[in-house]
Structure 1
Amino acid sequence: MTYRCPADGTRAPVASLAWHCPTCGGPWDLDFTPSSPVPLKSLAGRVNSLWRYEEALPLRGAAAGLTLGEGRTPLVPLTGSVSAKLDFLMPTLSFKDRGAVMLAELARRLGPERVARVVADSSGNAGTAVAAYCARAGLPCAVYVPEATSPKKTEQIRAHGAFVTLVPGDREATASAARAAADEPGTFYASHVHNPYFLHGTKTYVYELWEDLGGRLPDAVVVPVGNGTLLLGAWLAVNELHAQGLVDSRPALIAVQARAVSPLATAFHAGADDLPAGPPASPAPPTLAEGIAIPRPPRAPQILRAVRESGGTFLTVTDDQIRAAQLDLAARGLFVESTGVACWAAMTAQPPQEGRTAVIPLCGAGAKTGLAAR
């Protein structure tokens, strides 16, 4: 199995620790096709984690992989047409556990002779997940986060034994600092953006929907998008299920961004295939949806193409809508962090057409950040 650059076709062995394409600098895809269809009727007797979908995962012997019991989160109705998948009930309280377990397991399998330490960068949740799974695997870990990251999140990362570096500036500055560290020998860069194993972890979100709904999918899968890891994982799963004849049709992908930082939504509605060349004109403005405030996601062309091919669209939400959505969900018994309520804010403002169904993820627990500032 090899990494492959989607832009120019360059390849590299997974064991090389190369975290990006040496030709164009872009993120990797993975040359992987599921070995066989996931057998729906046999799943009930399998391990109760995302490893139950072992035919669809790119690590051999998947069922024996590292685990904290991630996945299999509840699916609950919010309205007659919209249901929520409670991914904030993951072991580290966010959906990022789906991808982090894959990265940590890969690093563990590569062995200490190749991997001396693991490095990650994050606005909080991905770093927490990587730190937790590295602790489980016995791997030294360093996590780079913006200096404005919620103290509750940095406390959680440190509690798992990871070394935390607070980086002045925005999310892009944090990524740059981590990438510099990732170039040091013996470093496995557990990038939830550049490493495609993360996407093969997040795709289990849709495999779970397919299982929970008895072998079908909703009309629309609504996801928050910053770097697009959940959306691209979802699109991987949708295409795999469709190619294997396990679903008759593919749902529309509805991508949600914070209106304050919405480069992908702007590009999509302008008909563009990528973001404008060059760095953003100015630092990203503040928004309550800090987890998706990404001014220049490296996988932008893939994200835009996936939404278009699915027949979906981009929606944006304001901070006022996010505040209202967080309080509304709390009144329904669900305390979700501000980034994680973006999709509910979008569905409240623009519900599905009559007769159509949608599922949203509630991605992170409200205990991580508290209530959005009024």
Structure 2
Amino acid sequence: MARQHIHRLTCLRCGRHHAPESSSTCDACGLEGILDVEYDYERVASTMTPEALRSRAANHWRYWELLPLSDGTRPPSLHLGMTPVDEAPRLAAALGLRSLRLKDETRNPTCSFKDRASSVGVLRAREEGRAAIACASTGNAASSLAGFSAAVGLESFIFVPARAPEPKLAQLLVFGAHVVRVQATYDDAWELCQAACERYGWYNRNCAVNPYLVEGKKTAGLELAEQLGADLPDWVVVSVGDGCTLGGVWKGLQQMHRLGFIPRLPRLLGVQAAGSPAVARAFAAGADTLPDAGADTLADSIAVSRPRNWRRAVRAVRESHGTLVCVEDAEILEAMRDTARLSAIFPEPAAAAATAGLARAVREGTVHPRESAVVLVTGNGLKDTRAALQATRPPLDLPPDLDALDTALREHRLL
């Protein structure tokens, strides 16, 4: 793979350079200094060409020159990446938008975008000879890590907050992960995971401290560029929790532009829940500080009061000349319902937040009706059935009687 293509690591806070072997945060900035992996693009371009990609398997390992793994590393056989980008004309019309496409990340092995990062994490852990890997997560990163750990035979320790939805918890347990349900918030679970990794020598999958996990996430941006080429949309819409996903997608798009695969770059629309708005507030403030914010939203996957990778997200939005918006939980539930009914793709709340944010941006005039957009659908709605039931009408509970059915249908104006 491409460890030999890595040029250096650079702190997103102070700009200090670090050796390619670094696997934590900046020596000078501590946990505030998240590192970014930089590549030798001349070397990458010598082998990662359009012609070369046409002959490679249609998965996210096809971009091996831009993945931080060693030659000879064998990825698991699970199909990952190259998820479809589907037209959603009925949803576009409902939002008042000329063109809308959905990149359906629910097609990944554990039904979420987070598989991209976890796949890189477990392989790096195996390369380093670690016996176990750990992460803190509100759900999707946890289930993806548990799944890919099972695929390569690695023990996983997962720290989840008390509010983690049961379907996500079920995934963890059935994959054989050691689950620590912390009776506190996600941030508390994150701190405990950090301490446990240091004490026990587990490989740390948390994106905030491990610079290589974003390299897996960026493959969604690499794919969008390759799949759409010159037909890239005006906007790429991504929900935001810690900031890693938005920053990773932007990095992938930037790399493909730098390598000549796409003629231009789209703008980013980052979407946060109104009850967890830290990154949006930091963007609006324009200062290098993270304001205090809570994490009170039904969208558990983006419920983060102290996002660790916020600088990466804010920088990505600014570089793309995009913006960040916040949406209420009621808007998220509406977007869950509308996305499923009008596109047949069933998003979990955090994924639906992106569509809700796009709807708000169109209403407020940030996104013009004549523009086009791609929404990243990051997770499957079956991961949070409680929220899905909140978004829908209840079933008709009836006896096996045709007259009773007729009465109910007329009462609900279905006849």
Fold-level match, TM-score > 0.5?
Answer: yes
Instruction: Choose the corresponding residue for 1:318, options 324, 328, 342.
Output: 328
User: Does residue 36 in structure 1 map to residue 51 in structure 2?
Assistant: no
User: Does residue 66 in structure 1 map to residue 84 in structure 2?
Assistant: no
Instruction: Choose the corresponding residue for 2:351, options 340, 349, 352.
Output: 340
The answer as to whether partners of 1:226 and 1:293 remain within 8 angstroms in 2 is yes
Give the structure 1 partner of residue 201 of structure 2.
186
Q: Aligned partners of 1:62, 1:106: CA distance in 2, in Å?
A: 12
Q: CA deviation at 1:67?
A: 4.3
Give the structure 1 partner of residue 86 of structure 2.
76
Tell me which amino acid in the other structure corresponds to 1:274: T
The answer as to whether partners of 1:101 and 1:201 remain within 8 angstroms in 2 is yes
Change (3 A) 1:319 1:191: same
* 2:44 alignment partner, SS class: coil
Q: CA deviation at 1:63?
A: 8.2
Give the structure 1 partner of residue 410 of structure 2.
none
Give the structure 1 partner of residue 212 of structure 2.
197
Tell me which amino acid in the other structure corresponds to 1:28: L
Aligned residues: 364
Structural mapping, 1:103-122, within 5 Å:
103-111=121-129, 115-122=130-137
Q: CA deviation at 1:185?
A: 4.4
Q: Aligned partners of 1:200, 1:330: CA distance in 2, in Å?
A: 30
Tell me which amino acid in the other structure corresponds to 2:232: L
Give the structure 1 partner of residue 26 of structure 2.
21
Q: Aligned partners of 2:19, 2:40: CA distance in 1, in Å?
A: 17
The answer as to whether partners of 2:295 and 2:305 remain within 8 angstroms in 1 is no
Tell me which amino acid in the other structure corresponds to 2:379: G
Give the structure 2 partner of residue 300 of structure 1.
310
Q: Aligned partners of 2:110, 2:152: CA distance in 1, in Å?
A: 15
Q: CA deviation at 1:307?
A: 0.8
After the TM superposition, list the runs of 4 or more consecutive aligned residues in structure 1 that deviate by more than 4 angstroms. Answer: 1-4
Q: CA deviation at 1:69?
A: 0.8
Instruction: Choose the corresponding residue for 1:270, options 277, 285, 300.
Output: 285
What fraction of aligned residue pairs are identical, expressed as a percent? Answer: 34
The answer as to whether partners of 2:229 and 2:261 remain within 8 angstroms in 1 is no
Give the structure 1 partner of residue 66 of structure 2.
56
The answer as to whether partners of 1:126 and 1:192 remain within 8 angstroms in 2 is no
Structural mapping, 1:1-374, within 5 Å:
3-8=9-14, 9=16, 11=18, 14=21, 18-26=23-31, 27-34=34-41, 35-37=43-45, 38-61=48-71, 64-78=74-88, 79=92, 80-111=98-129, 115-214=130-229, 216-276=231-291, 280=292, 284-332=294-342, 333-351=344-362, 352-370=367-385, 371=388, 373=390
Q: CA deviation at 1:68?
A: 1.5
Q: Aligned partners of 2:51, 2:230: CA distance in 1, in Å?
A: 9
Tell me which amino acid in the other structure corresponds to 1:313: T
Q: CA deviation at 1:73?
A: 0.9
Q: CA deviation at 1:65?
A: 2.6
Q: Aligned partners of 2:12, 2:336: CA distance in 1, in Å?
A: 37
After superposing the two structures, state which structure 1 stretch, 187-196 or 27-36, moved more: 27-36
Change (3 A) 1:346 1:309: same
* 1:350 alignment partner, SS class: helix
Q: Aligned partners of 2:199, 2:40: CA distance in 1, in Å?
A: 31
* 1:71-121 deviations in Å (ceiling 9; x for gaps): 01111112241111000111001000011101111111112xxx1311111
Higher helix share: 2
Tell me which amino acid in the other structure corresponds to 1:246: F
- TM-score by length of structure 2 reads 0.82
The answer as to whether partners of 2:230 and 2:263 remain within 8 angstroms in 1 is no
* 2:253 alignment partner, SS class: helix
Q: Aligned partners of 2:300, 2:40: CA distance in 1, in Å?
A: 34
The answer as to whether partners of 2:132 and 2:202 remain within 8 angstroms in 1 is yes
Q: CA deviation at 1:260?
A: 1.2
Q: Aligned partners of 2:70, 2:195: CA distance in 1, in Å?
A: 31
The answer as to whether partners of 1:49 and 1:67 remain within 8 angstroms in 2 is no
Change (3 A) 1:84 1:175: same
After superposing the two structures, state which structure 1 stretch, 170-179 or 261-270, moved more: 261-270
* 2:196 alignment partner, SS class: helix
Structure having the higher Rg: 2
After superposing the two structures, state which structure 1 stretch, 332-341 or 313-322, moved more: 332-341
- TM-score by length of structure 1 reads 0.91
Change (3 A) 1:274 1:372: farther
* 1:183 alignment partner, SS class: helix
After superposing the two structures, state which structure 1 stretch, 142-151 or 39-48, moved more: 39-48
After superposing the two structures, state which structure 1 stretch, 242-251 or 78-87, moved more: 242-251
Q: Aligned partners of 1:357, 1:247: CA distance in 2, in Å?
A: 17
Q: Aligned partners of 2:369, 2:169: CA distance in 1, in Å?
A: 43
Q: Structure 2: any 5+ residue segments left out of the alignment?
A: 1-5, 93-97, 392-415
* 1:336 alignment partner, SS class: coil
* 1:301-359 deviations in Å (ceiling 9; x for gaps): 22212211110001111111111111112212222111110111122233331432211
Tell me which amino acid in the other structure corresponds to 1:193: A
**RMSD between aligned residues:** 2.1
The answer as to whether partners of 1:118 and 1:190 remain within 8 angstroms in 2 is yes
After superposing the two structures, state which structure 1 stretch, 212-221 or 222-231, moved more: 212-221
